[in-house]
A and B are shown apart, each in its own frame.
Chain A
Amino acid sequence: MLFNTTISLFKKDLLIEFRNKYVIGGIALYVLSSVMVIFFSLNYNESLKELSPVIWGILFWLIILFSSINAIANGFFREPEGRAYYYYYLTSPQAIILSKLLYNFIFTILLISLAFMVFSVMIGDPVSNVPLFFATALLGGTGYSFLFTLMGAIASRAGNNATLVAVLGFPIIIPLLIFITKLTAASIGNSEFTNEAFKNMALLGAFDVMQLMLAYVLFPYIWRD
């Protein structure tokens, strides 16, 4: 029951997204132009060649951070206020939050893929351990999307204040960013899976699971007025 509702809500979100193609286009353009900004600011300082792989990883994840905060946090703002009441009668809050989490997860993974393509074309691709980078992207994307979904939900109740998402989300994203940048550095440096990398991956996974549980438990309280 919950599963079916979640899937149909997810399909509804997808449909809305495809009807307003400008949102996807906007985010894609956001990623593209952010990479362009980095590319030109590095290129015209003659420092593109000196870009260290670790800094590459940090720049990459910061681009993802800013574009996903724009993409996800606005996900809760997009639908008109009145429709929320309609959903309230129609479904359970658990189904709503799960569909949002699923949708935002897929959206973030697409965002990461896009950003990675643009990055590797324009700035270069130093990744040597592709499976580790892939796992990092998957776990990190999950963490980003789950965190900003819940923060977006909180901020949407506080009068659609876009600054609020950043204020609430950024301090909390830091532990996630620590694990992600460590893992990215590990995937650039050598092509082996170290114990350290497994430990960081386990912690990142635990962080994701914890956020999923918190979102699932806490969302019903935010949902109702």
Chain B
Amino acid sequence: MIEILKKTWWKYVTVLILLYVLIGGLLVPLAPGIASIYPINFASDTAVEFTFTGYNTHFQDAKDLQIWFKNGTEFYCADKTETITNEKAKVTFSFPFRNTQKLIGTNFDLVINDNQDGTIHLGDAVTVLPHQPADSTTDSSALKPSCEHAASITKLSHFTFPYREILYQSIRNTFYHVPMWFAMMLILIFSTVYSIRYLNKGNIEDDIIASQAVNVALMFGALGLTTGMFWATYTWGKPWPNDPKLNGAAVGVIIYLAYIVLRGSLTDEIKRAKISAVYNVFAIVIFTLFIFIIPRLTDSLHPGNGGNPAFSKYDMDSHLRLFFYPAVIGWCMLGFWVLSIGVRIKLLELKKSSK
């Protein structure tokens, strides 16, 4: 294993992969989306002018701008559309009374289609309130019922990352925060394998690899916590929401900090190797329990827990995956690179002291 770690070629590969992830992950724009709509509810049987703001959209430049409200499978056409800028438009919209009676209290999605932005969508954009006669500004007989969903849906032509409410640009953190935990976990498993190997064979090199691997894993753990805290501040409102996965990760990091304290308190080389290997095996079991089992028992803000989807179609689209998988591989390889440097330094120190 050390021989492979000493080779140079895979370090060039690591640099290339990480450059690809860093540059691509930061430069690819977000897909167009609808940022907000005002007002968010309206009474039936009235004509209401909605103003909505887009993100990365081209309302003015595009041709065939079409706007619908969608309820279930039915589409309702706007009466009048007026674009103000590329990212702002006004639309007047109304329901006939007879048609909305059954729709009162339900939510409508906003769907926009044009030839530059493709089809964009804001779920549960507006709510229909009961009709109030005083508000009535239009003759209900003049209003159109649901209309044909006429135009063909246009596919977005350029390469983008998905636009998600709450996440917005921070979706790029997927390439940093998530791979940190993958790398940490992989290197910890690697460390445990070498600890078990040490216990079976008693080769001091295995102990050096295991202990250096824990150091590298802790570095990734610290980075994972930091990137996660930035992300949480942006999306969940505070850096440390009371989330079981977060607390589990923190305890996991403390368990491995205790490993370092344990090593520090032992001076005899063989004894240190043996006892810290035993603790390392114990620690990985508890750590797995913390990261994988306890968070699944309770609700969590993280995807994949408490009924939230994990890496399903909803969270990850093919464009994100194109950078996410290389990011996971790249950060793991970087971890092994750092590990190989640490191991080689320790091996040289060992050689020097034994002379």
Contact = CB atoms under 8 A, between A and B. Distances in A.
B135 to A, nearest CB: 50
Interface in B248-270: 251, 254-255, 258, 261-262, 265-266, 270
A69 to B, nearest CB: 14
B327 interface: no
B278 A164 contact: no
B47 to A, nearest CB: 53
A213 B270 CA distance: 24
A14 interface: no
Q: Which of A171, A214, A218 has the most CB of B within 10 A?
A: A171
Given A157-B271, A167-B261, A210-B285, A175 B278 contact: no
Given A171-B254, A214-B282, 12 more contacts: A158-B265, A159-B265, A161-B265, A164-B262, A167-B262, A168-B279, A174-B251, A175-B286, A175-B289, A214-B285, A218-B282, A222-B278
Interface of B: 199, 251, 254-255, 258, 261-262, 265-266, 270-271, 274-275, 277-279, 281-283, 285-286, 289-290, 294, 297
A222 B294 CA distance: 29
Question: Top 8 closest A-B pairs, CB basis?
Answer: A171-B254, A171-B255, A218-B278, A158-B265, A167-B258, A158-B266, A172-B286, A168-B258
Given A175-B290, A175-B294, A178-B294, A168 B262 contact: yes
Interface in A160-201: 161, 164, 167-168, 171-172, 174-175, 178
Interface residues of A, number: 22
A158 B199 contact: no
A64 interface: no
Contacts of A157: 266, 271, 275
B282 A150 contact: yes
Q: Is the interface of A mostly helix, strand, loop or mixed?
A: helix
Contacts of B265: 158-159, 161, 164
B289 A221 contact: no
B262 A154 contact: yes
Nearest to A157: B275
Contacts of B271: 157-158, 225
Given A150-B282, A214-B285, A222 B262 contact: no
A123 to B, nearest CB: 28
A221 B255 contact: no
Given A164-B265, A175-B289, A210-B285, A154 B279 contact: yes
Given A174-B251, A175-B294, A158 B275 contact: yes
Nearest to A207: B289
A154 B261 contact: no
